[in-house]
Amino acid sequence: MNPSSASIMADMTKKRLVHREYLAIVKGDLTPPTGTITAPLSRKEGSIIERTVDFDHGEEAITHYKMGTAWFPFSWKPAAPIRSVSI
């Protein structure tokens, strides 16, 4: 990404104009099929991409999720976050 694009994206992220949506293949049941996870997130140690729940150093985050189409024995599910808001 060039510096101009990176600056624009950073500004949009600060203003909460960026919407992220993730998909996951999950083995087993997701119970309940919809819900909200409230847990602080931080970068996973040793990664600049991965995030992890970190109650000591993480930033507060709210993640809403819902189950998608199921194919036995796997389910196609949007993964956290459908909508995530850092507080």
Whether 87 has a pLDDT exceeding 60, the answer reads no
* DSSP tag of 82: S
User: Alpha carbon of 38 to those of 6, 12, 19, 82: distances in Å?
Assistant: 28, 23, 18, 13
Closest by Cα among 82, 35, 38 to 60: 38
Q: What is the pLDDT of residues 18-59, one digit of tens each?
A: 887 877 777 777 788 888 989 999 999 999 888 899 999 999
**Residue 40 has what pLDDT?**
94
**Residue 69 has what pLDDT?**
72
**Residue 39 has what pLDDT?**
93
Structural element, H or E, at residue 10 = helix 3-14
pTM greater than 0.95 (yes/no): no
CA distance 13 to 82: 16
Binning pLDDT at 50, 70 and 90, where does residue 83 land? low
CA distance 23 to 26: 10
User: Alpha carbon of 61 to those of 5, 12, 72, 73: distances in Å?
Assistant: 25, 18, 32, 31
pLDDT, greater one: 26 or 62: 62
